[in-house]
Amino acid sequence: MSDTLSPIDQAKANAARKAVEFVEDGMKVGLGTGSTAAWMVRRLGERVREEGLRIVAVPTSSRTAALAREVGITVITLDEAKWLDLTIDGADEFDAEMNLIKGGGGALLQEKIVATASDQMVVIADSAKEVAHLGAFPLPIEVIPFGAEVTRGLVEELLGAFDVMGRRTTVRMSGAAPFRTDEGNLILDLHLGRIGDPRQLALMLNQVPGVVESGLFVDICDRVVIGHSDGRVEVRDIHDLSVKVMELPVGDTTNIFSNIGD
């Protein structure tokens, strides 16, 4: 892996640099999971070390928890926090209404619980994650192992009643074995192509026995911070419909993940 940032990683890093500015002293903060969220955790750790920022954080996965501790962020459980001021997380896709597909990293259940237990959710992304319609990225759903193939069949049957382009489902793998979430569940990836009504699909998927949660995040995101490789950052707010574009100072272009394999 290169020691300098690719354009896409520079865009992620820029979004993360801007998003951590929303974190204030004394806050309880939810920390997302995934490659973009990892940039945010690193930058937040810098603020803790260099500015003396006093926060506690609730990670959305064991991977994020380990990284947060590594960079000096105090980690607590959601039950200890009870409620959060802010959650910052990435997204696999987002549309104009700030509906999201999440779960590419397999942590969608904890991510949704943490996001909905927060006053605000800020999503960080590069511009390639913006889409006219959700669905090009496979939609993950978390299912319990018992009767997983039956659940899969019920989901495929359900999809026939919705405005989607495809109905193929696959079990997410980790090498030769099925991928397991932190809760020991499986992930089904739904290859839909296009989702006509994300809100209705999210509601109905959660009615299928065996489905724990879907990666459709509807009416949860408050702001999207979009990073660009040239230093521009765009902040969109769902509440006042504002769009702000700004230039960030030139930052470090070193790849902080250069020692991590692909």
Question: Which CATH number goes with the domain that contains 158?
Answer: 3.30.70.260
Whether 2 is in a domain gets the answer no
Could you give the C-alpha distances from 48 to 4, 12, 80, 142, 231, in angstroms and in order? 24, 20, 20, 34, 23
pLDDT average, residue stretch 135-148: 98
Report the side by side order of strands in the sheet with 186-191: 168-171, 186-191, 139-143, 211-214
| Residue 260: per-residue pLDDT | 31
Clarify whether 111 is annotated catalytic.
Answer: yes
Whether 258 is in a domain gets the answer no
pLDDT average, residue stretch 104-133: 97
The number of beta carbons lying within 10 Å of the beta carbon of residue 153 is: 12
| Residue 14: per-residue pLDDT | 96
> Residue 7 above 80 pLDDT?
yes
Residues annotated within the binding site for substrate are 33-36, 89-92, 102-105, 129
pLDDT average, residue stretch 10-39: 96
Are 95 and 224 within one domain? Answer: yes
| Residue 83: per-residue pLDDT | 98
Side chain identity, residue 12: K
| Residue 11: per-residue pLDDT | 95
Are 229 and 159 within one domain? Answer: no
For residue 206, the enclosing domain spans: 139-214
User: For the CA atoms of 249, 1, 16, 85, what is the dihedral angle to 10 degrees?
Assistant: -150
Are 27 and 143 within one domain? Answer: no
Higher pLDDT pick, 260 / 136? 136
pLDDT average, residue stretch 120-130: 97
**Can you state the percent helix, strand and coil of the chain, rounding each to 5?**
30, 30, 40
pLDDT bucket at 251, cuts 50 / 70 / 90: low
> Residue 261 above 60 pLDDT?
no
| Residue 2: per-residue pLDDT | 47
Q: What is the mean pLDDT of the chain?
A: 93
pLDDT average, residue stretch 148-173: 97
Are 25 and 46 within one domain? Answer: yes
The total number of structural domains in the chain stands at 2
Whether 253 is in a domain gets the answer no
| Residue 4: per-residue pLDDT | 79
pLDDT bucket at 241, cuts 50 / 70 / 90: confident
| Residue 147: per-residue pLDDT | 98
pLDDT bucket at 1, cuts 50 / 70 / 90: very low
| Residue 253: per-residue pLDDT | 45
> Residue 262 above 50 pLDDT?
no
pLDDT bucket at 5, cuts 50 / 70 / 90: confident
| Residue 156: per-residue pLDDT | 97
pLDDT bucket at 10, cuts 50 / 70 / 90: very high
The number of beta carbons lying within 10 Å of the beta carbon of residue 253 is: 11
Side chain identity, residue 87: T
Whether 144 is in a domain gets the answer yes
| Residue 248: per-residue pLDDT | 86
DSSP state of 213: E
Are 39 and 101 within one domain? Answer: yes
82: three-class secondary structure by DSSP: coil
| Residue 3: per-residue pLDDT | 60
Catalytic pick among 46, 51, 97, 111: 111
